[in-house]
Homo-oligomer: A and B are copies of this chain.
């Protein structure tokens, strides 16, 4: 129970980001003066703003470990999930030295790579490289489900291409709705750019400008050098 928190050395809060807005201040209220409280949610500005004047702000560390799958709950646990993965730490300077050291030791033992970022930059970048991918995947799934009434056709024809682009559409709506709510402004910006790129590509097809269709793909192939 929440009352047993006072004997904890480290508390890791891993819940949907709307729930962590309730839970992080409550947990900070309860823990002893040596404890470290870590949150691991996918948005960082709202939680950092929320706790900025909390009397135990120095015992809190805002993190975002970039790891996980489309599945959630205890049965989705993966051994060594964090090994070699990046952990983004926000406002590390607002965490006391003692708690910083404890956190870094913990992440080192898990084999994580550490990056530091301010919460505003984090939320902007992550809208592009994570949140947009989820919307792109959910809407792709929706488009195909709406069209393909005979589900066996999807199964038979999907191949590995559709499967990997639509994988994130299996993700939990309870986890993702509050992320989209908290990062709304950045996500709308990224969606506008994505929709505009798709519309432009469609126009090239309509106008039969296949040299430009080719070049659009060729320049995006650069992703190969970045994500091996």
Give Cα A5 to B74, complex, Å: 59
Knowing A177-B210, A205-B180, say if A217 contacts B138 (CB, 8 Å).
Answer: yes
Q: Report the count of interface residues on A (CB-CB < 8 A).
A: 91
Q: Summarize A's interface: helix, strand, loop or mixed.
A: helix
* Chain B minimum-CB-distance residue to A225: B151
In the complex, whether A54 has a CB less than 8 A from a CB of chain B is no
Determine the chain B residues whose CB is within 8 A of the CB of A176 once the complex forms.
217
- Of B147, B169, B173, B201, the residue contacting A193 (CB under 8 A) is B147
B154 with A214: CB separation less than 8 A: no
CA distance in complex: A146, B187 (Å): 15
Chain B residue numbers with a CB within 8 Å of A162 are 129-130, 133, 227
Q: A125-B153, A128-B147, A130-B157 are in contact. Are A135 and B214 (CB under 8 A)?
A: no
Question: How many chain copies does the complex carry?
Answer: 2
Q: A164-B167, A191-B198 are in contact. Are A157 and B129 (CB under 8 A)?
A: yes
Query: Which stretch from A21-29, A61-69, A99-107 is at the chain B interface?
Result: A61-69
Which B residues are in CB contact (< 8 Å) with A197? Answer: 139, 142-143, 146
* A144–B128 CB distance below 8 A: yes
